[in-house]
Chain A
Amino acid sequence: MTNPPATADALDRYEAVIGIEVHCQLRTASKMFCGCSTAYDGAAPNTHACPVCLGLPGALPVINRRAVELVLATGAAIGARTPDATRWDRKNYFYPDLPKGYQISQYDLPLAAGGSLTIDTSDGPFSIRITRAHLEEDTAKLVHAPGTGGERLSLVDFNRSGVPLMEIVTEPDVRTAEQARRYAEELQLLLRTIGVSDADMERGQLRVEANVSLRPRGTEAFGTRVEVKNMNSFRSVERAITFEIERQAGILEAGGELVQETRGWSDDRGETYRMRVKETSDDYRYFPEPDLPPLRVDPAWLDGIRAALPELPAARRARYREQLGLTPYDAGVLVADADATRLFEATLAAGADGGLDPKTVANWVTGEYLRIRNAAPSSTAPGADPIELAALIRLVVDGAISRANGKEVFEAHLATGERVEAIVGARGLRQISDADALAGIVDAVILANPAAAADVRAGKTQAIGFLVGAVMKQTRGQANAAVVQVALRARLGPGPTAPRAGEDG
């Protein structure tokens, strides 16, 4: 089914109103209401199950305190309110992946309410209000497979059943697909930073759903809402919402009417498709879970959780910008990557007594480290020793080796784990910055290249590069190019330039 494509004009006339629901599996050792291990990845089906998560007669839930703490930590991180007491509710519906016929969730007293998350977009920072974050249990997994006779079979794997799940719901504040993607990325970063979830989208640990509607710009009333599911990567979040906005705008522009429905995103076809139409609103018949007493959130408990929070991504970015003088871009790249953050911080600390410039360290981490790491197959992701990186940067800054050779050394370090000093020594890369040591070679090069020397004397300064290159060749790249240049100018003159110790060109 295809719709008329929306014109740019239509996209201008309508404003998208988007709310985002994220389900994320919490990083706990055991499930939400029983002692089963959550480490079921790769395990045979139904090997991580017990009477409780199978919904057997007589089984009762027991709250996983760690899971509660993780939601409380999330609430603290997004500046949400925490109720003095909370409780669990039963959300009733029938489905084969829901063993009890109800999901234990939270209805009107979520563990966190009224927070926000600020994201950086191409249009600058943007704040999204978070309505609530609450705790619930994951469902089992349905596997559809043909049976021995070719009949359609649905199999249930209960390994996932009862894994603690946090649902985070935003206000309909999001206006663009980019904002939606950025929100999901930032939330993932936050959850990973505070250790709440591994939040891997491809492994289903972070599931993003978007409620998308359109309204004429300048109006308040919400349009017909479409729920978009099955977005399995950040890229597909952005693509799916872009597609959905255009689809809806096309229909509205053509005078059509939207249907309230749930649509899935097909990454292959690059479009959303109808999953089901909502004719009536679901009635989940919520009521307080009688098997679990209300939970009082002790202020001291909450204070402890709050105090244990690490530096949050937004604060870290601000510190990098404001205290370390990094560009917003570098700060963003560093903070977005846990390995990069760790390496940056540790290298800075390792070089602290030598006063390494944070910007220089940032350049090495964002430029060299991330480039090399991202190119490596994930199974052989190299680890950098921050002490070695600090030593290497120090060598380059001091002019002891060239920047180009420095990159070579870093690659060798990452590949072999060898110490920087050893690599430099073994490869003879130590830079010659002593003008006296270079004088003989400089003189010889001038003599051997009279034409180029004449050009320089005549003011054609570009020709000096040729002579520098010749010196570098003679020294197998060990000469400090800046020192060579000064020496050449002194001999071929108009006026000397102060030699600068530092990185070469």
Chain B
Amino acid sequence: MTSDLTRLLAREMAALVRAGETSSRALTEAHLAVAERQNLALNAWLMIDREGALSQADAADAILGEARRAGGAALEALHPLLGIPVGLKDLISVEGGQCTAGSRILAGYRAPYDAHIVERLRRVGAVLLGKTNMDEFAMGSSNEYSAYGPVSNPWDLDTVPGGSSGGSAAAVAAHHVPLALGTDTGGSIRQPAALCGIVGMKPTYGRVSRYGIVAFASSLDQIGPFARDARAAAALLHAIAGRDARDSTSAPVPVPDELLHLPESDDEAVAWLRGRRFGLPREYFVAGMDPDVERRIHESVAFLVDAGAHVEDVSLPHTDYGLAAYYIVAPAEASANLARYDGVRYGHSRRLEGGDFIADYLATRGEGFGAEVKRRIMLGTYALSAGYYDAFYLKAQKVRTLIKRDFDEIFASGIDALVAPTSPSVAFRFGEKTADPVAMYLADACTLPVNMAGLPGVSIPCGLSEGLPVGLQLIGSAWSELLLFRAARAFEGLTAGAAWRGLEPAALTKADHASGLTPAERAAALAAAR
């Protein structure tokens, strides 16, 4: 056993606190120390709640102590997340706490209520360590659109962690927390998970209540887990999933308890693959894709085949229209969802001398929103305007139906899951894509069709390309999260002995030095050098 508690997997931590070999307080202290030490270099956290986290840890320790005294059954009944630190993307409402959504317009806002998933985490006794950085209103694929500065990728501090949940992904990869939550509207969990070399899942639309989550695009947003292994991610999903009457789009579909009992042994996990059918959608190997990333995906497929799975080429013919349709539907919904930020009730507010309320709105929103958010509000407003609605929004929704049908047909044909790249490239450098919005949008080409279809998808690490992580995406039919996690767990088993498995993010030592540069300074230096 390593002496550094932060290097353990979530279930190892849970086992230690149950056994009384360590405490939730010690675990929390250890994580707080790393997070606080490295936040200058990584900027993964917008807020670290030392006091709150420690008090929750103490409460968990009290429960643990009581259960240990009561013995066997009481210990067994404890949730595996009890006393385990979790990071929350800063668009998740926590009562009394900040919730900036990475935007200046929500500076100073304090949420007066807990999101549904926060209630659930409190119920199982998780420790809420703090709020993680993100692209403003979850719009972005690099975390460079945060009003509070970019985040560095723990594998290379000059590169982005992906986005929009970049802070959560970086924090988990850097061992600041074993677990974190993010949201995924077009790839915002899976893509940063891929770029940071961890596991990240976007569940089926309706699996997790959105109540208390700052909305980007209501029909696409889902909350999901980040972890360093499949079992921890599955346990976190288990804790937050399920019907909530306050979100009318959350589905009354049972959450399988097997999510807590994925196979322990690699052999058992791998054996599950025998006879499984996987589809390899040819449209996901997009033009301009990094050839080395493509190689890693094909190597992964070969592993699956070696383990007895069938992998066949399949086609999702409407994939190519996904990006265009997504960039109508998501901005359209966002243009309405973000209309509430008007400075009247909360957040940034500008009152002009003698101006009418429209002038105040323009000033408030003009100052409060960043360029990318404004771009999407304008796109969405335009797409919904009289005379354009049919040609844009309605057409995009029809395309969405076709995309969904593509998936339905594949899964109806007996395919268990699709195997695809998560991102066409590994982590890119700061500033590489900010000048060209479309280049940035293409970072999500392989993930956003899954949101358009409302399906679950998970990204798991499958190797490195020039020292940076590559993500393998598994896509399933609706409500097939358990199957995806079984497949992910099997892939972990298959690659348990791979050299890259044992590697820590390369830049962590550098991130430890308080004298280093902030991500914003690195980004500026790179821009200057260009």
CA distance A298 to B112 in the complex (A): 37
| Chain B CB within 10 Å, residue with most, of A54, A58, A101 | A58
Interface: B247 (CB within 8 A)? yes
Q: Contact: B340 with A62, CB < 8 Å? A: no
Q: Given A290-B218, A291-B218, verify A51-B112 contact (CB < 8 Å).
A: yes
Counting contact residues on chain A (CB < 8 A from B), the size range is 20 to 34
Interface: A477 (CB within 8 A)? no
Q: Contact: A96 with B342, CB < 8 Å? A: yes
Cβ-defined partner of A58 (8 Å) among B115, B345, B385: B115
Q: What is the 8 Å Cβ interface bit string for chain B, positions 182-226, against chain A (1 contact, 0 not)? A: 000000000000000000000000000011111101110000000
Q: Contact: A285 with B342, CB < 8 Å? A: no
Please give me the residue from chain B that is nearest to A289 by CB atom.
Answer: B218
B115 contact set on A, CB distance < 8 A: 58
B303 contact set on A, CB distance < 8 A: none
A100 contact set on B, CB distance < 8 A: 336, 339-340
Q: Contact: A291 with B249, CB < 8 Å? A: yes
CA distance A271 to B218 in the complex (A): 46
Cβ-defined partner of B247 (8 Å) among A55, A60, A95, A283: A60
Q: Given A51-B112, A58-B99, A100-B340, verify A291-B212 contact (CB < 8 Å).
A: no
B215 contact set on A, CB distance < 8 A: 57-58, 291
Interface: A292 (CB within 8 A)? yes
Question: Shortest distance in angstroms between A103's beta carbon and chain B's nearest beta carbon?
Answer: 11
CA distance A57 to B112 in the complex (A): 10
Q: Contact: A57 with B393, CB < 8 Å? A: no
Q: Give the number of residues in B that approach A within 8 Å (Cβ atoms).
A: 45
A61 contact set on B, CB distance < 8 A: 248
A291 contact set on B, CB distance < 8 A: 215, 218, 247-249
Q: Given A57-B214, A58-B213, A285-B385, verify A290-B333 contact (CB < 8 Å).
A: yes
Interface: B297 (CB within 8 A)? no
Q: Given A102-B339, A293-B248, verify A287-B332 contact (CB < 8 Å).
A: yes
Interface: A156 (CB within 8 A)? yes
CA distance A318 to B212 in the complex (A): 54
CA distance A56 to B346 in the complex (A): 8
Q: What is the 8 Å Cβ interface bit string for chain A, positions 72-116, against chain B (1 contact, 0 not)? A: 000000000000000000101011100111100000000000000
CA distance A335 to B415 in the complex (A): 68
Interface: B381 (CB within 8 A)? yes
Cβ-defined partner of A99 (8 Å) among B212, B213, B218, B340: B340
Cβ-defined partner of A283 (8 Å) among B338, B344, B386: B386
Q: Given A63-B248, A293-B249, verify A58-B386 contact (CB < 8 Å).
A: no
CA distance A100 to B214 in the complex (A): 12
Q: What is the 8 Å Cβ interface bit string for chain B, positions 341-359, against chain A (1 contact, 0 not)? A: 0101110000000000110
Q: Contact: B358 with A58, CB < 8 Å? A: no
Q: What is the 8 Å Cβ interface bit string for chain B, positions 321-333, against chain A (1 contact, 0 not)? A: 0000000000011
CA distance A287 to B219 in the complex (A): 12
A285 contact set on B, CB distance < 8 A: 335-336, 381, 384-386, 389
Q: Contact: A60 with B345, CB < 8 Å? A: no
CA distance A247 to B180 in the complex (A): 67
Q: Contact: B247 with A57, CB < 8 Å? A: no
A62 contact set on B, CB distance < 8 A: 245-246, 248
Question: Shortest distance in angstroms between A85's beta carbon and chain B's nearest beta carbon?
Answer: 15
Q: Which of A163-220 contact B (CB under 8 A)?
A: none
Q: Contact: B211 with A60, CB < 8 Å? A: yes
B214 contact set on A, CB distance < 8 A: 57-58
Question: Shortest distance in angstroms between B214's beta carbon and chain A's nearest beta carbon?
Answer: 4
Q: Given A56-B346, A57-B93, A60-B248, verify A287-B340 contact (CB < 8 Å).
A: no
CA distance A56 to B214 in the complex (A): 9
Cβ-defined partner of A55 (8 Å) among B211, B340, B361: B340
CA distance A283 to B332 in the complex (A): 14
| Chain B CB within 10 Å, residue with most, of A96, A101, A293 | A101
Question: Shortest distance in angstroms between B473's beta carbon and chain A's nearest beta carbon?
Answer: 25
A54 contact set on B, CB distance < 8 A: 345
CA distance A101 to B380 in the complex (A): 14
Cβ-defined partner of B112 (8 Å) among A56, A60, A95, A293: A56
Interface CB pairs A-B, < 8 A, 27 = A51-B112, A51-B113, A56-B345, A57-B93, A57-B101, A57-B214, A58-B93, A58-B99, A58-B211, A58-B212, A62-B245, A90-B336, A94-B339, A94-B361, A96-B342, A99-B344, A100-B339, A156-B345, A285-B385, A287-B332, A287-B384, A287-B389, A287-B393, A290-B217, A290-B218, A290-B219, A291-B248
- Nearest first, the 10 closest Cβ-Cβ pairs linking A and B are A101-B339, A285-B384, A290-B218, A290-B219, A58-B212, A57-B214, A55-B340, A283-B386, A58-B93, A100-B340
Where the two chains meet, the residues of A that have a C-beta atom closer than 8 Å to any C-beta of B are 51, 54-63, 90, 92, 94-96, 99-102, 154, 156, 281, 283, 285-287, 290-293
9 more CB-based (< 8 A) A-B contacts, given A57-B99, A57-B109, A290-B333: A58-B215, A60-B211, A94-B358, A101-B336, A285-B381, A285-B389, A287-B384, A287-B389, A290-B249
